[in-house]
Chains A and B, each alone.
Chain A
Amino acid sequence: MPKDNGIGASDKRREDLRFLTGSGNYTDDINLNGQAYVYFLRSDVAHGTINGIDTAEAAAMPGVVRIFTGADFEGVGGIPCGWQVTSKDGNVMQEPAHPVIAQGKVRHVGEIVAAVVADSLAQARDAAEAITLDIAELPAVVDMKAALQDGATKVHEDLNDNLCYDWGFVEENKDAVDKAIADAAHVTKLELVNNRLVANPMEPRVAVGDYARHNDESTLYTTSQNPHVIRLLMGAFVLGIPEHKLRVVAPDVGGGFGAKIFHYAEEAFCTFAAKQCNRPVKWTSSRSEAFISDAHGRDHVTTIELAMDADHKFTALRCLTHANMGAYLSTFAPSIPTWLHGTLLAGNYTTPLIYTNVKAVFTNTVPVDAYRGAGRPEATFQLERVIDKAARELGVDPVELRRKNFIREFPYATPVAVEYDTGDYDATMDKMLEIADRDGFEARRAESEKNGKLRGFGVNCFIEACGIAPSNLVGQLGARAGLYESATVRVNATGGLVVMTGSHSHGQGHETTFPQVVAEMIGIPAEQVEIVHGDTANTPMGMGTYGSRSIAVGGSAMVRATEKIINKTKKIAAHLLEASEGDIELKDGMFSVAGTDKSVAWGDVTLAAYVPHNYPLEDIEPGLEETAFYDPANFTYPSGAYSCEVEVDPETGTVTIERFVSADDFGNVINPMIVEGQVHGGIAQGIGQALLENCAYDENGQLLSASYMDYTMPRADNLPHMAHYTVDHSCQTPCTHNPLGVKGCGEAGAIGSPPTVINAIIDALQSGGHKVDHIDMPATPDRVWAAMNQA
């Protein structure tokens, strides 16, 4: 039932007013007095030995303040990795040093070799051109399997080889899985690639370092999804600055999608250089720089086998994956192909035996880490593609094969270490099929064929695991961080509230949705609640926003803190009303005594807390400010069923998305308008992965897709039109273990859509008699055309 305020209402976004009028405050909009600019000279070879860097001529050029090289960072820490994975033999992963500026060797195109600080960016860039680099190029390792062969060039000569870790999960199940596959009535096998992507938030990364000599305090303004994490990693591990002397501010941030989670060398450099130069130092990434310095995403090569019995029940799944780490370990890189991927392989199905082996590999490429979905899209793509192939091999309806294996009893403990609390996979499937009008598909296909086109219908189901937790579990899994969230709720004397959250909004609309929750709890207008985020100086220690965790974890912390406020205000109200605390009810911003007409308004109680003349001072303190840290008991498990219809032009191989339907179960929804916007965005990125985007290296480690001229971003005319595009979230099984019953919606679209599109393309091609059972993403016209004409 539509609501006009509070939880469930489509409140318009208050942040829009500044973004629509050019009044936002993004990091690049920050300019400090006396600021200098840094230009990073980056390696143009993928692998090489640095024999010399001659900066003499450059240092004498106009405006140059100072030039830094690796030598200036010898006593400084390296960029740390936040997750340690243990191999199946019990050894911990190989973890190479990750210098801020290259030390002796360069290991990927884009690695920083020198940094020129000058009065203007143009002067810094001019001076960088005058630096003479003597780098002896070494053979580059780019292909993961080649990198693991005996005698392969090592990316890090001090490591044993290029294998970061060799992870088996669940190792105890391996023999049983092997046996089940050997004994199966039918086994479907598929080899596939999950294509390497670049996150590409539209705002390139920016860092502004500042240093105050008078109090020895450093400040970093940065484009981050999690400023507290950057403060901890950079302060404790790189620069040795205690947290009380380091402030990190992430103001308006223009999209993240994972790429702005990580601690990057440029942030440490600007903070370090500001102190060294005793003036603010600013770096603004160009898009070309972003392509060779932002962490990339995905890049898995997988062989997957699905075993079934004679009744088509799934009996076992085996997944062997090579995962590219790039040249260094980015902040959360090791966790993505392991704990965020292996634990998802049950999907929506009752498969009793699952084993995955993941070999993480160093190559001479940009580091690879989380990108929207992070491990979960990879797991879903493999699983849903192999199920679709199995349905074709068995000659059964792909919808019915999925339904035959659905999990229907909850809670459900999977064989891959997680327990789903709720879900209703038939409900989302039914809803999707209803909206998609599958019954009318054959008529639409006939119409397409009349026009010389092939038409295909693809389906996909998925589950997601959001809000990774609890901290004690993730600690056992190798996380070097807690995964709680925090909120401080400050009530002012006249009744307005400020919520200081450890979550960070970079497009998700927290400033609108978080107040909807607090306003509903108290019964006051949302306009009386303001959200503060993104500054370590005025928010409690938080873990930030990624993994669709904001409302499930950050929202829960806010609820807990607000509950503490309500409990205290009820005590004050009881005193004012001369009643028992247990009889006090709070509704619509009024405290009343049950069964009487005695009441006192919210604002009178909050005023009493700050002007405590008539106040139980002997029992409770004045003031109204409470903090809560919320550490969830479990992940949340959103799920969904997606479908799409594509048309393929057999003359050119061009694919168009004619219809798309998503039916998601996000549990309870705070702001439907914002939820739908998140799904639209995720689906666009998923369609981008499926049809357009590819991060390509040549054999020498040169990035071929290093600009928007070469890396195909989805544009408005690549996506389905409004008349045949529905995102539905009406199936709701609330999460059982967080106070709002919410599950998270940020990544669903990016997880659910790539296999949907590929399944539809295969359906279209097979309808034309082409025996094509797989196409790797992106399914560009040339790949589709080649597949059709080979088969």
Chain B
Amino acid sequence: MSEISMNVNGKTVSGSVEGRTLLSSFLRETLGMTGTHVGCDTSQCGACTVHVDGTLVKSCTMLAVEADGAQVATIEGQANADGSLNVIQQAFQDHHGLQCGFCTPGMVMTAAALLKENPSPTEAEVREYLEGNICRCTGYHNIVKAIMAASGQQVQPVAAE
């Protein structure tokens, strides 16, 4: 077992982990931060996506010990300080970019990384960037729309508006 500590969403946390413990398991089981989801075991679905030292990482593919000393950001830390939804989260609600909600944490974290790299992406760029995130509910249509809206671009409003 190894003792590790890291900064998660601005708080220093520590724990004792096996060498084989994944970062996703450390977050979910050791820290009880269950917002990060695990949807596959081949690094394909992206539900477990977090940021480690500002980089997009699939937390099911990184060992917890590798994140020792890192700055980790998860879905639980994305809302504004007053608890209100941030711009990306709000756009997902406004444009119905989620249904069952299981892929959503990974989608929001991926969208945040995209907009940091490319503040005004084209639709094709958004779709390309989401290659590592699978959603089974929405058909991606409203996810793409939400991300473009979050970047400040004009999109079609939702139905009946």
**For the complex, is A20 an interface residue (Cβ under 8 Å from B)?**
yes
Q: Is the Cβ of B42 less than 8 Å from the Cβ of A287?
A: yes
Interface SS of chain B: loop
Known: A8-B160, A255-B100, A713-B136. A26 touches B39 (CB 8 A): no
Q: Quote the shortest CB–CB distance from A671 to chain B (angstroms).
A: 8
Q: With an 8 A cutoff between CB atoms, is B58 at the interface?
A: no
Choose one: A19, A714, A722; the contact of B104 (CB below 8 Å). Answer: A19
Q: Are A674 and B96 in contact (CB under 8 A)?
A: yes
Chain A contacts of B158 at CB under 8 A? 10, 672-673, 676
The answer to whether B98 and A16 have CB atoms under 8 Å apart is yes
The answer for the CA separation of A16 and B159 in the assembled complex, in Å, is 17
**Residues of B contacting A23 in the complex (Cβ-Cβ under 8 angstroms):** 35, 76
A28 to B35, CA, bound (A): 11
CB within 8 Å of A: which B75-104 residues: 75-76, 78-79, 85, 89, 92-94, 96, 98-104
Also in contact, A2 and B161, with CB within 8 A (given A22-B76, A203-B37, A287-B39)? yes
Instruction: List, in ascending order, chain A residues with CB within 8 A of B126's CB.
Output: 716
Contacts of A535 in B (CB 8 A): none
Question: Could you mark each residue 27-46 of chain B with 1 if its beta carbon is under 8 Å from any beta carbon of chain A, else 0?
Answer: 01100111111111110110
A443 interfacial contact with B, CB 8 Å: no
- Closest residue of chain A to B144 (Cβ to Cβ) is A716
Contact A254 B101, beta carbon cutoff 8 Å: yes
- Of the listed stretches A361-369, A413-421, A633-641, A681-689, chain B binds A681-689
* A253 with B100: CB separation less than 8 A: yes
What is the CA–CA distance of A253 and B102 in the complex, to the nearest angstrom? 8
Interface residue? B137 (CB, 8 A): yes
For A677, the chain B residues whose CB sits under 8 A away are 96, 99, 137-138, 142
Q: Which residues of B contact A587 (CB under 8 A)?
A: none
Collect the chain A residues with CB atoms within 8 Å of residue B104's CB. 19-20
State A8–B161 Cα separation when bound (angstroms): 11
Looking at the complex, which one of A13, A20, A675 makes contact with B108 (CB distance below 8 Å)?
Answer: A20
- How many of chain A's residues have a CB under 8 angstroms from any CB in B? 64
Q: How many residues of B contact A (CB 8 A)?
A: 64
Shortest CB distance A347–B (Å): 24
| A721 on interface, CB distance cutoff 8 Å | yes
**Nearest residue in B to A720 (C-beta to C-beta)?**
B141
With A10-B159, A12-B93, A722-B156 given, is the CB distance from A203 to B102 under 8 Å? yes
Q: What 1/0 flags go to A194-220 for Cβ under 8 Å of B?
A: 000000111110000000000000000
Q: With A22-B33, A507-B100, A722-B123 given, is the CB distance from A17 to B134 under 8 Å?
A: no
B131 at interface by CB-CB < 8 Å: yes
What's the Cα separation between A203 and B38 when bound, in Å? Answer: 8
Using Cβ atoms and an 8 Å threshold, which residues of chain A touch B98? 13, 16, 19-20
Q: Which residues of chain A in 758-791 are interfacial with respect to chain B, using CB atoms and an 8 Å cutoff?
A: none
**A interface with B by C-beta (< 8 Å):** 2-3, 8-10, 12-13, 15-24, 26, 28-29, 31, 122, 200-204, 252-255, 257, 286-288, 506-509, 672-677, 680-685, 707-709, 713-717, 719, 721-722, 725, 749
On B, residues with C-beta under 8 Å from A are 18, 20, 28-29, 32-42, 44-45, 47, 74-76, 78-79, 85, 89, 92-94, 96, 98-105, 108, 123-124, 126-128, 130-131, 133-145, 155-156, 158-161
Instruction: List the 10 closest pairs (A to B, CB-CB), nearest first.
Output: A22-B35, A19-B101, A254-B102, A684-B139, A507-B100, A672-B159, A708-B44, A507-B99, A680-B139, A22-B75
